[in-house]
A and B are shown apart, each in its own frame.
Chain A
């Protein structure tokens, strides 16, 4: 090389050396930024993806009937999970061979290769969270997959408890069901200021309705967890810490499985036969409750329909007009206030003599308390209601537990708080009247506004002064009429009318109760006036089977009704099942030492039943207690579209009482 050239090379290599050091310097600078400045950030990310808390679900407690039959339990179930990346090739496409193998092993017609990809794509947001492909694997599938373990990296089989209802749909409305917690449930928890036994988190399975909900914190136990180190495939490499789960407590119910089955079967057969009759062909829904009158224990509770888990438990959520089953309240109110004696005879001319002259189906003639109750004479009870007055009827209805919630230990009891619900107490009546008056006002205000609008149009259309005067005059008259109509209607809707009292006296009109309320009220008549808080759970057992909690009967209130009055009413209710009574045929075969006291009801929801075309439908209602001389159980049942009380709900009562007293063997 020439000297000049060598000089140039020297210069250029020196420049290049400088470039090298600049580049290496930049790399070291970047290294320093990541490793020195941002170290904590990246370390926390590394820890977060390396350490994983894996929940070990606690076994949920069993629910056991009072006679020891397990109704609900947790059984282990296997689920197949895959981790997203292990199903993928390096270029991001799916590993078809592996998916093919999976579909072959799972042998599930619904879980096609396309379906698997769809599920995976939907879950690709959480890269290392295992994706559940299939739940409830049978043991044969589990062993098939385990045998091909090595060909299926990233696929694993996890065991988790699965809620199992051992007696099918028996008591399904009482038991309820569980499901993944919803966003609104989480929000409700977070918004609540009450202290909670358990803080729910995303992904938890919680009771949605029934006992599963109301006793959720008792049943659920405490989830354990494994803190594990995982690799990129999400597979655990080593356990850091294990906290074992604590199994949930079990519930022993007050419900007897045999009574429950008898109740449900009776409802199903009754519904089936009602559906065959034209007058009750829309039957299909209803509810029944059997109570221990001395404790408030629920011995059986059923609701129909029950073909779908989401259906409401009508025994505590359905509100029904009681029909004649309310007449004992009217009788008690009249007897207690002294406006009538049990032997006073009141003449029934076929319909009541005061407007709206409500008819009766009872034959014309004289009626005392016993005949009145047996024949369910509407005239007799309207007269009693008139004499006692609505306030007294409401007072004794309230005393017998017909106002507000019963406080049963099941979720979502209908508390009857709305103006159109429950017992017509003074407060409730005021609420209703305010509402009715307001809506009537609104209706007439609308009419007035329409009239004003019409006037504007007419006056604009009028061409001569004469026409204008005519329009003005007409409008003025029109307004005067509307305003007075508004005032009249406002007044009418703001007042309680005599006819309203007559309707309430015979169990119609503005009142409605849940079947559980009717049962509690019947039990109170039976037991001498004690209103118990009904309950379904007798005991709570821990995992070892030891009793950790026993629910004692809770007296909500004493009705404060004299024993003589109650005796008379009980005797009157006994007449219902005797020769000449409305439910005679039902209990004719009962032995003489097991006398049944009862009352039938035919309820007319709205005004005069449900109208479908020309057809009229009625709800069948029935209340009963037995044995009449020393009551043990009380029963209430409503069959929607049952037409008559004795012919629908009464038949259910008969079957349940037969089971209770062992008369069906």
Chain B
């Protein structure tokens, strides 16, 4: 027990403090955003936060290094979990991505992010001398391509993008050939944008359903799908713009209280945040996230071993893409996908996954000097 207290004193309190502020502000905004709902979202969210905090603290006793042993198991488990859900799961929001136990839902795509970060970190750290040629990198891509394809079966495009982003982030920190990474993913993004423009303007062939495609095309023209994705983005832009510098005030956002945005307690909560707390509130939130990510990368840098470095880098990549995608979507910068804003959006699986991430970061931080003693 004494040992445990000692561990507590070594936690990264900067990170925890910024997290506490994000979560607290998020709870208030959630309360406002879900005011029209009968379910008490704040209470449920609070339960998940407490659970997440307990897991985080409890896991400190173990050194994250033992996870290396289970890396393979986690990978196989993740693949089976994702396969199972895409075959037997329940449909929500157009994707077969949930296991429902009564009204309680588990979203494998969330938990698997962490599992895959761990197994991928192990995989990369074991190959770190072999990341310079395309041939060497190919297995690294295949490693992540399998779960990404499983996600596409649901289909859950948003999570698939998160996995890809995590892969790129981890490969980068692992020291993979930057030219290849940049060519493949920078070029890939460019090709994708050109392709979408072609689909939009020139009617190129596209395997996506119209409503899925529109989530991308609204980036170019919000009026393209005024009743679907375009409507959501338009309403969230109105909400954000309407907030102005100081915001409308908590519980006072005219867009939020009028329920003009769908899913405003999950996917579009950033718009509520920005409308009610204004530029001052929303930019502070983004800066707090930036600080949190900065601390995460610092932990990555300070890690005692490459495995910890890569796990931390993977978690930071996960957060970063969630923030970019979620906030970007509400502001019309990113396509519309249903991925939550970390620690703010309502959702149990997402909150647990994010706390697992914090738990790992703290663990890596706490155990960073073990070898030096």
Contact = CB atoms under 8 A, between A and B. Distances in A.
A85 B300 CA distance: 48
B290 A20 contact: yes
Contact of A28 (B93, B283, B313): B283
Interface size class on chain B is: 35 or more
A579 interface: no
Contacts of B255: 46, 50
B241 A35 contact: yes
A237 to B, nearest CB: 7
Contact of A8 (B175, B238, B283): B175
A27 B93 contact: no
Interface stretch (A88-96, A497-505, A520-528, A536-544): A88-96
A12 interface: yes
A45 interface: yes
A232 interface: yes
Given A15-B172, A46-B254, 10 more contacts: A9-B175, A13-B313, A30-B333, A35-B245, A36-B245, A43-B244, A46-B255, A90-B94, A92-B227, A231-B257
Contacts of B313: 13, 16
A108 interface: no
B130 interface: no
A188 interface: no
A233 interface: yes
B258 A24 contact: no
A16 B295 CA distance: 12
A92 to B, nearest CB: 6
B228 interface: yes
A46 B331 contact: no
Given A9-B173, A20-B294, A1 B306 contact: yes
A27 B286 contact: yes
A50 B289 contact: no
Contacts of A24: 286-287, 289-290, 293, 323
Given A13-B298, A91-B94, A42 B173 contact: no
B262 interface: yes
A10 B299 CA distance: 11
Interface stretch (B66-74, B185-193, B274-282): B274-282
A17 interface: yes
A124 interface: yes
Given A10-B301, A21-B290, A233-B259, A16 B169 contact: yes
B179 to A, nearest CB: 15
Contact of B237 (A21, A34, A47, A237): A34
Interface string A67-107: 00000000000000000110010111000000000000000
A555 B23 CA distance: 87
Nearest to A48: B238
Contacts of B327: 27, 31
A34 B222 CA distance: 15
B324 interface: yes
A39 interface: yes
A213 B305 CA distance: 90
B18 interface: no
Contact of B241 (A10, A26, A43, A237): A43
Nearest to A233: B259
Interface string A549-589: 00000000000000000000000000000000000000000
A5 interface: yes
B175 A31 contact: no
B328 A28 contact: no
B211 interface: yes
A370 to B, nearest CB: 83
A12 to B, nearest CB: 5
Contacts of A242: none
Interface string B189-204: 0000000000000000
Contact of B240 (A1, A5, A34, A85): A34
A49 interface: yes
Taking each of B237, B240, B306, B333, which has the highest tally of chain A beta carbons within 10 Å of its own beta carbon?
B240
7 contacts: A9-B306, A9-B309, A20-B290, A30-B328, A30-B331, A39-B245, A50-B258
A9 B258 contact: no
Given A12-B172, A12-B173, A24-B290, A46 B239 contact: yes
A92 B239 CA distance: 22
